[in-house]
């Protein structure tokens, strides 16, 4: 299955900000490069040449330089003095640390949300769930991940704790590349993509019910189950990728 890439290569179009402010232009370029990193159009370790990016995106080098600085600050790329920037590699240690942290923060924010979620925000969560279902039916991988990200961020906002919301947002952003990979295709010796997406949507539906019933205990258990679902899918992807690399090396 192939994702429908958005704003890739020559199809990129600069959005119009208020009075064309440079800061808005840099943010737009940042989002585009980040999207390419997540979808592996820019692969781990790939060099990011400032001049080439500026020519490709038909913008000046200054906003590209500002966008690369944002990406560095967000831990998406590595940039050393007097050297070209490159896409950051994701190590097994990175994956382990990320899931340990996400499990703790996801559970805490979800449990608090089950107690504090406002009716207005709950409606937004329901809407995000329906958008995810729609994206799954269309098999639009990028849209599925975007809707999934929105769903969990809204729940974090329901915790009404600005520190946890900030930490959760940072962790979820770092998990975006893994999340996209986990739903990008089927892997050998793993549950099918259809089964995985069905389980994901089922979890989301149960999470909404927990919020409606203010069921904190069930929410705590379900949030961990949901992270384990994500983690197992990533393990399957990494195992599959390692096996493929080994086969290619033997040919």
Is pLDDT of 13 > 80? no
Name the residue with higher pLDDT: 181 or 114.
114
Contacts for 117 with CB less than 8 Å, ≥ 6 apart: 125, 155, 158, 211
Contact 86, 45 (CB under 8 A): yes
Rounded to whole angstroms, how far apart are CA atoms 69 and 53?
14
pLDDT at 177: 84
Q: Residues 103-120: what's their mean pLDDT?
A: 97
Residue with tokens 């998990």: 175
pLDDT bin (cut points 50, 70, 90) of residue 192 is confident
Q: How far is CA 9 from the centre of its chain?
A: 20
Q: Residues 108-118: what's their mean pLDDT?
A: 98
Question: Per DSSP, what are the bridge partners of residue 86?
Answer: 47, 78
Contact 79, 44 (CB under 8 A): no
Long-range contacts of 185-194 (CB under 8 A, 24+ apart): 185/1, 186/1, 187/236, 187/237, 187/239, 187/240, 188/240, 188/243, 189/236, 189/239, 189/240, 190/233, 190/236, 190/240, 191/233, 191/236, 193/1
pLDDT bin (cut points 50, 70, 90) of residue 187 is low
User: SS3 for 87?
Assistant: strand
pLDDT at 249: 61
Domains observed in the chain: 9-87 (1.10.10.10), 92-250 (1.20.120.530)
Rounded to whole angstroms, how far apart are CA atoms 81 and 109?
38
Rounded to whole angstroms, how far apart are CA atoms 203 and 198?
9
Q: Mean pLDDT highest for which of 178-182, 218-222, 228-232?
A: 218-222
Percentage of the chain with pLDDT > 90?
Answer: 54
Nearest to 241 by CA among 202, 188, 171, 199: 188
Phi-psi region of 173 (alpha: psi -120 to 50; beta: other; left: phi over 0): alpha
Lowest mean pLDDT among 15-29, 60-74, 154-168, 193-207: 15-29
Lowest mean pLDDT among 4-13, 133-142, 148-157, 176-185: 4-13
Q: Residues 170-199: what's their mean pLDDT?
A: 80
Q: Residues 193-205: what's their mean pLDDT?
A: 93
Tokens of 206: 């149960």
Q: What is the mean pLDDT of the chain?
A: 85
pLDDT at 250: 62
Q: What is the pTM of this model?
A: 0.78
DSSP 201-243: HHHHHHHHHHHHHT-HHHHHHHHHHHHHHHHHHHHHHHHHHHH
pLDDT at 4: 32
For 64-92, the pLDDT digits (tens) are 999 999 999 988 999 887 778 999 988 88
pLDDT at 247: 63
**171: number of CA atoms within 13 Å, CB side?**
24
């Amino acid at each position: 299955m192939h994702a429908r890439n958005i704003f890739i290569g020559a199809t990129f179009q600069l959005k119009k900000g208020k009075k064309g402010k440079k800061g808005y232009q840099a943010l737009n370029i940042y989002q585009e490069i980040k999207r390419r990193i997540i979808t592996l159009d820019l692969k781990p370790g790939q060099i990011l040449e400032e001049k080439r990016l500026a020519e490709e995106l038909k913008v000046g080098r200054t906003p590209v330089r500002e966008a690369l600085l944002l990406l560095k600050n967000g831990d998406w790329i590595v940039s050393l003095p007097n050297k070209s920037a490159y896409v950051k590699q994701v190590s097994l240690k990175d994956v382990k640390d990320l899931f340990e942290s996400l499990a703790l923060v996801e559970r805490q924010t979800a449990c608090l949300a089950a107690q504090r979620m406002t009716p207005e925000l709950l409606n937004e969560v329901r809407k995000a769930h329906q958008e995810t279902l729609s994206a799954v039916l269309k098999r639009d991988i990028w849209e599925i991940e975007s809707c999934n990200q929105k769903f969990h961020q809204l729940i974090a906002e329901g915790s009404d704790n600005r520190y946890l919301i900030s930490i959760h947002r940072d962790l979820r952003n770092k998990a975006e590349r893994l999340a996209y990979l986990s739903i990008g295709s089927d892997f050998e010796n793993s549950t099918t993509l259809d089964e995985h997406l069905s389980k994901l949507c089922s979890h989301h539906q149960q999470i909404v019910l927990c919020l409606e019933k203010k069921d904190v205990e069930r929410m705590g258990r379900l949030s961990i189950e949901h992270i384990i679902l994500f983690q197992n899918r990533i393990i399957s992807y990494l195992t599959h990728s390692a096996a493929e690399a080994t086969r290619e090396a033997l040919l």
